[in-house]
Amino acid sequence: MHSNASDIPVQSPGSPAPAPLSADAQDALKIVVVGGFGVGKTTMVGAVSEIRPLSTEEVMTEASVGVDDPSRVRSKTTTTAAFDFGRITITEDKILYLFGAPGQERFWFLWDQLFAGSLGAVVLVDPRRVEESWYAIDRLEAHGTPFVVAINRFEAGPGLDALREALDLSEGVPLVECDARSRDDCKAVLISLVRHLNDLYAPSPAREGTP
Amino acid sequence: MNPRPIDREDPDRLYTVTGGRSRSDEGIFDSVTLIVSECEPKAGMQSEHMRILRMCERPTAVVEISATLGMPVSVVTILLRDLLDMGRITVRHPSSSVADAQAHTPAPETLKQVLDALQRL
């Protein structure tokens, strides 16, 4: 049991594989924590993961580059995005993978190549640098991926109402505060996301006219 | 994030392990598709194939194979495609990738299981 998740180092690539999954594991789910550099994504993943966070990378495939002219392919530049992930056992046959991914535009190809089918996302925000989250929020909204916004509180700062305005968040998007080093806080952020998903997908009693 | 330069990775090595191919058929492997070995590694197999077969005696997600081998996910899926074609692995796709991913909404039962698991953390 790790009490201080912020001290958990990321497992370096090429190191021994972590504890294996159950032989009955069938279905893996995904949630993505997205945010700017140094905002605490890896810390959040490590705070709730059952394994030390692993790190790997993906390169943009040609299909995602959108090059029309094949003669340009040879000289094209490839983008490499590093990302971390951890996991949480849900049931004997279900596992939740938690990814920590950079939110900048040049890394967004990860969503098409790796994060399609995610249950939802957590946008982790440094309240001193809210503008770094605008792109991710726009893209998630445009794509229809459900998300919650979590403010990683480093020091006293603007209140949640002011931050909601600065982020230009819709009313329906949950906005919560957390300390990404705290397992309980990160757990609460993920629970708020799943409750949000429940609200989004549950048939609305009001709409069905039940009293 | 831990920006780790891929430049340290010898590009010739990645070229060699994939036989010079740059992509697998897209959509066969999700990043969290679980891979299960169906045979023992044998002498004469490509070393990466042997490592994957050893790693996947129990179900292992594509991204975990990528992290353990220290290779990009898209390179790993090319290796996995070879193993699948040879019948040396089987795959367990995530339920979210079976249907049209865009239109996919998780089953209420699944959300409840996730919620319960998170509350137990």
Compare all CA atoms of chain B with the CA of A9 and give the residue at the minimum distance.
B2
The confidence score (pLDDT) of residue A11 equals 57
Give me the residue from A16, A87, A117 closest to B101, CB to CB: A117
Length of chain B equals: 121
Look-up of token digits 């993505």: A32
Give me the residue from A82, A83, A117 closest to B30, CB to CB: A117
The confidence score (pLDDT) of residue B28 equals 84
CB contact under 8 A, A85 and B63: yes
Give ipTM to 2 decimals: 0.84
The answer to whether A202 touches A208, Cβ cutoff 8 Å, is no
Q: Please enumerate in sequence order all residues whose Cβ is within 8 A of that of A199, keeping only pairs 6 or more positions apart, or say none.
A: none
- For the record, the structure tokens of A24 come out as 């009955």
Among A65, A106, A143, smallest CA distance to B103 is for: A143
Interface membership of B118 toward A (CB under 8 Å): yes
- For the record, the structure tokens of B95 come out as 């339920």
Segments making up each domain of chain A, as ranges: 25-62+79-200
Q: For residues B17 and B83, give the distance between their C-alpha atoms in angstroms, rounded to a whole number.
A: 13
Among B85, B70, B111, B106, smallest CA distance to B29 is for: B85
State the pTM of this model.
Answer: 0.85
| Radius of gyration of chain B measured on its C-alpha atoms | 17
In which residue ranges of chain A is pLDDT below 50?
Answer: 1-8, 66-70, 72-75, 207-211
Q: How does residue B99 score in pLDDT terms, banded at 50, 70 and 90?
A: low
The confidence score (pLDDT) of residue A14 equals 54
Strand order from edge to edge, sheet including A54-59: A54-59, A80-89, A94-102, A27-35, A120-125, A147-152, A175-178
Segments making up each domain of chain B, as ranges: 6-120
- For the record, the structure tokens of B25 come out as 């058929």
A:B CB pairs within 8 Å = 178
pLDDT in tens, A143-185: 999 999 999 988 888 899 999 999 999 999 999 999 999 999 9
Number of H helices and E strands in chain A, helices first, is 6, 7
| Residue A98 C-beta-side C-alpha neighbours within 13 Å | 28
What is A25-62+79-200's CATH number?
Answer: 3.40.50.300
pLDDT in tens, B49-94: 999 999 999 999 999 999 999 999 999 999 999 999 999 999 999 9
The confidence score (pLDDT) of residue A8 equals 47
Q: How does residue B21 score in pLDDT terms, banded at 50, 70 and 90?
A: low
pLDDT in tens, B32-53: 999 999 999 999 999 999 999 9
Interface membership of B54 toward A (CB under 8 Å): no
The answer to whether A161 touches A135, Cβ cutoff 8 Å, is no
With residue B37 as reference, give the H or E element that holds it.
Answer: strand B34-37
Using an 8 Å CB-CB cutoff, list chain B residues near A13: 4, 67-70
| CA-based nearest distance A129→chain B, Å | 16
